[in-house]
Chains A and B, each alone.
Chain A
Amino acid sequence: MTLMTMIIKMSEGLGKTCAIFFLTLLFSLPLGMIVALLRMSKNRIISNIVRFFISILRGTPLMLQLLAVTYGPYYLFGLSVSRNKLIPVVVAFAINYAAYFAEIYRGGIESIPIGQYEAATVLGYSKFQTFFKIILPQVVKRILPSVTNEVITLVKDTSIAFTVSYQEMFTIGKQIANSQTSFTPFVVAGVFYFIFNAVVDFVMGKFEKRLDYYR
């Protein structure tokens, strides 16, 4: 097999890699905010339950969580295993990443000086307005570097989908590596991930720059 054929075959899986990437971000970014707010809830029971789940999601490998989401319902309740593996993959990824994002958001929200809330309160802003107009934009700026870190990790984590036989780029790479008894597909995969992350880095850099107008 020529290098070109390898690259073409593997880029066929790139679409699925992108699907995992974008769908995970689409769901985990807002879900993380909900989790963060529940985590900071004044209700002790709610915040402790959420804290417990976050610690499980951050304390166990994503690969295990992916296996649990994909095969758990089958082993526990005898339900069918999903034929479209994108569903369990995105569910597991979104939940896992939401836990990480939630902690980043929480750190960001808690780092905003109390004076910002007080100034907003005295000016008569509602709680809703205070959060979305005053606090959140500042939080976004503060957490952007940490979020970029997670997003870059996510690009690389998409390869974990091979554990449930989702035919993304890395799985195809492994297949070629096997049938050809060759290491080249892994090098190709490495280059793909590197380029992908270079793009992510560039885009996130633009975002950060756009928020550079204030300190």
Chain B
Amino acid sequence: MILEMNNIKKSFGSLEVLKDISLSVDKGEVVSIIGPSGSGKSTLLRCATFLETIDSGEVLYLGKAAVTTQDGKAEYVAPAELRKMRSCYGLVFQQFNLFPHYTVLKNIIDAPINVHKRPKAEVIAEAKALLEKMGLGDKADAYPCQLSGGQQQRVAIARALAMKPDILFFDEPTSALDPELTGEVLKVIKQLAEDNMTMVVVTHEMPFARAVSDRVIFMAEGVIVEQGHPEEVFGNPKEERTRQFLQNYQN
């Protein structure tokens, strides 16, 4: 197991966003999370990446606990431990969140060099190979503002990959893009799936989810309503709530 999340509960004030959710992801598995907005999909990712703290439950990476719950209260490991565990995963944001004052190359290599303290030459060579793979071989010296949204998102993916994560999270990676630019990003994710990258993708792109996922999770109102093989969930949903959602979506 790369990631294990058990009995996660999270509230914002009186609003219960995650109601006892459990999720585990195997090595090489591609999991898509779909569901209406406000269902808690993004919050689940943010809890998995420690951008939000959970109220109770457990999060484990590679079998090592980052959060445990004692007497109903979540307890995180020491901040230094937590920082180390961040190298297990990468996160691609909806808004890309590239560093605007760095070139494309510097965006990718800065963290490996300054956080992981890896040799510069090696990191640069890898970064260039990654850019090549993303179809951005000629953009190394450009600044993010000179790129299209699709190109920026591909740089963000390269930046996450340069950290050599065990698992990569995508938080609605194409939602901020113009429709004609989503294809180039989805293509890259598909390619990563073929390379056996472990991934969790929160998305509204149903055909894409159906095509690349090993497992699809349908979330609504803070719970997992249904999950299974994409053909099952999309082709023959068991739950009424799922059926409704997919129907609305097709319209």
Contacts and interface: CB of A to CB of B under 8 A. Distances in A.
A126 B116 CA distance: 11
**Top 4 A-B residue pairs of the complex, sorted by shortest distance between their CB atoms:** A119-B97, A115-B97, A123-B111, A124-B115
A153 interface: no
Contacts of B235: none
Nearest to B83: A124
B91 interface: yes
A129 B51 CA distance: 17
Given A137-B101, A215-B100, A122 B90 contact: yes
Contacts of A131: none
A129 B111 CA distance: 10
Given A123-B163, A215-B145, A133 B97 contact: no
Contacts of A126: 83
A120 B111 CA distance: 9
Interface string B63-100: 00000000000000000000100110111010101111
B86 A122 contact: yes
A141 B100 CA distance: 11
Nearest to B95: A115
A23 interface: no
Contact of A213 (B49, B95, B143, B163): B143
A121 interface: yes
A118 B51 contact: yes
Contacts of B86: 121-124
A112 B248 CA distance: 37
B116 A124 contact: yes
Contacts of B93: 115, 118-119
A207 B115 CA distance: 29
A77 interface: no
B97 A124 contact: no
Given A118-B93, A123-B163, A213-B143, A138 B100 contact: yes
B144 interface: yes
B99 A122 contact: no
Interface of A: 113, 115-116, 118-126, 129, 133-134, 137-138, 141, 213-215
Contacts of B99: 116, 119-120, 134
B163 A214 contact: no
Contacts of A119: 93, 97-99
Contacts of B143: 213-214
B91 A214 contact: no
Given A115-B97, A125-B114, A141-B101, 7 more contacts: A118-B97, A124-B83, A124-B86, A124-B163, A125-B115, A129-B114, A133-B114
14 contacts: A115-B93, A118-B51, A119-B99, A121-B50, A122-B51, A122-B86, A122-B91, A124-B86, A124-B87, A124-B115, A134-B99, A137-B101, A214-B143, A214-B144
A126 B95 CA distance: 22
A107 B105 CA distance: 30
A36 B93 CA distance: 29
B156 to A, nearest CB: 8
Contacts of B90: 122
A123 B159 contact: yes
A127 to B, nearest CB: 9
Contacts of A118: 51, 93, 97
A120 B91 CA distance: 11
B110 interface: yes
B193 to A, nearest CB: 21
A195 to B, nearest CB: 33
A109 to B, nearest CB: 15
Most buried by A among B49, B90, B97, B159: B97
Interface string B129-149: 000000000000001110000
